[in-house]
Structure 1
Amino acid sequence: MAQTTESRFRVRYAETDQMGMAYYANYLVWMEVGRSDYCRECGFSYGDLERNEQAFLTVAEASCRYLTAARYDDEILVETGITRLSRRVVEFSYKIKKGPALLAEGRTVHVVIGPNGKPRSMPNRYFELLKATGH
């Protein structure tokens, strides 16, 4: 498994603002796309973790540093990796690019919780799948 995954798509018209640039909050949505693809590449989906184990990766922190704007119909690449992994916390990092140009970089920190909203340990199977990426 790769230590990073790549997600590619085009900026949709609905994702732009009046100035023709991608609305800032959509970068967080694109990070979610990257994160979901990363988990699938590791061998599971968020849905698997939630349905099978009643474990949820809730966002505890999110940040994005914007460098230059994406525009309608730009082809975007989101590179996603894990920068920290423990049984209760996963930190993902993201690079959002258009060609070689870095548009934004960000990170999200996730805490594993149960259906009661309290922290719990990540089920071993899923932890091992993420750990196999080198973290």
Structure 2
Amino acid sequence: MLSTTRRVEFRDTDAAGIMHFSAFFPMMESAEHELLRSWGMSVMPRERGPNDVTWPRVAATCDYLAAARFEDILAINVSVLKVGNSSVQYGFDFSRDETPIAKGTLTAVCCRLDTSGLTKVPIPDSVRQLMQG
């Protein structure tokens, strides 16, 4: 699990100063990237070696529990919910001062990127061990 924070920026809000539903998704993606970096990985590796993989998303959800407002500091907890053969599902819990704000999920598929495009591959054992903690 990884815990991080994000500030609700003006661009994240509607005319009433309430965080727009769509703004949660980039925050989830950013927190996912932070989790991958904590494991020494990237969503898009700089090198293209035999063990380098990328993680396109295939599903995303978010359930909203309370309003977040401009300049709120949101705590985001990221955890691995499920590791499949070639996919991983992350869970996200957003809160402000311990008040639950939203819960989300992202599902990503392990792929190799080469000149012909993306090819789904099994999650390498070394990566699976990191994900399963």
Fold shared, TM-score > 0.5 on shorter chain: yes
Q: Secondary structure at the match of 1:37?
A: helix
Confirm or deny: 8 A CA contact 2:60 2:105 kept in the other structure: yes
How far residue 79 of structure 1 moved from its aligned partner, in angstroms, is 0.4
Segments of 5+ residues of structure 2 without an aligned counterpart are none
| Shift in Å, 1:114 | 2.4
Q: Which has the higher mean CA deviation after the structures are superposed, 121-130 or 4-13?
A: 121-130
- In the alignment, which residue of structure 1 is the partner of 2:89? 91
Letter in structure 1 aligned against 2:32: R
Judge conservation of contact 2:19–2:67 (CA < 8 Å) in 1. yes
Residue type at the aligned position of 1:85: V
1:129 aligned partner = 130
Q: Percent identity?
A: 20
Letter in 1 for 2:128: F
TM-score when scaled to structure 1? 0.85
- Normalising by the residue count of structure 2, what TM-score does the alignment of the two structures yield? 0.86
* Local SS of the residue matching 2:17: coil
Which structure shows the higher helix fraction? Answer: 1
For residue 75 of structure 1, the aligned residue among 65, 73, 76 is 73
CA displacement, residues 38-95 of structure 1 (integer Å, 9 cap, x when unaligned): 1122222223387444522111111000111111100111100001113401000000
Distance 1:45 1:27 in 2: 21
Partner in structure 2 of residue 10 of structure 1? 7
Structure-2 change in CA distance of 1:54 and 1:44 (3 Å): closer
Mapped to 1, the partners of 2:127 and 2:106 lie a distance apart of: 18
* Matches of 1:100 and 1:63, distance apart in 2: 21
Residue 13 of structure 2 aligns to which amino acid in structure 1?
A: T
The unaligned stretches of length 5 or more in structure 1 are none
Conserved 8 A contact 1:50-1:56: no
In 1, Cα distance between equivalents of 2:118 and 2:88: 17
Kindly tell me: are residues 38 and 22 of structure 1, through their superposed partners in 2, closer, same or farther at Cα, counting changes over 3 Å?
Answer: same
Work out whether residues 49 and 56 of structure 1, in 8 Å CA contact, stay in contact via their aligned partners in 2: no
- Quote the residue 2:16 is aligned against: 19
Q: Write out aligned runs for 1:8-47 (5 A).
A: 8-47=5-44
Give the aligned residue type for 2:63.
R
Contact (CA 8 Å) 1:8, 1:75: kept in 2 or not?
A: yes
